[in-house]
Amino acid sequence: MKIKNMRRAGFTLVEIMIVVAIIGLLAAIAIPNFVKARNTAQSNACINNMRQIESAIQQWALETRKKDTDGIVSASIALYIKGEKMPECPGGGEYRLANEVRANPGVTCTLADQPSLGAHKLGQ
């Protein structure tokens, strides 16, 4: 006669707690890196948007024969950007145009002075 051993298969509480602790440790390492990568990507996209606006300002000034001291008309600049719409800062900032065509940089972001969000500065 065989004696059947009724043993239930499964994980013990200690094994489950170890797995949860390992997952928590991995999450604690991954989340700050994800936030940093997101801020870097937003900063790079903002810089590229400012380059696009800067190019549109220069193209507008050349085609309309503006002098270096002439003012910039933001409504006219949008016509020289793909989609004829001024881009938006992905970080939530706003772009400000300079008063003169010759200004360097001709466009700045309101988030440029917040180092925790990345550079958001054209030319860096």
Considering just the CA atoms, what is the radius of gyration of the chain in Å? 27
Average pLDDT over residues 7-27: 91
| pLDDT tens-digit map of 38-69 | 988 998 999 999 999 999 999 999 999 988 88
pLDDT for the residue numbered 103: 79
Q: How many Cβ atoms are within 10 Å of 67's Cβ, its own excluded? A: 9
53, 86 contact by CB (below 8 A): yes
| pLDDT tens-digit map of 103-117 | 788 888 888 877 766
pLDDT for the residue numbered 33: 92
Residue 64 one-letter amino acid: T
More confident residue, 46 or 123: 46
Q: Which of 107, 120, 114, 109 is nearest to 40 (CA)?
A: 120
Q: What percent of the chain has pLDDT over 90?
A: 36
The answer to whether residue 25 scores a pLDDT higher than 90 is yes
Entry field: residues in the chain: 124
pLDDT for the residue numbered 6: 66
pLDDT for the residue numbered 1: 61
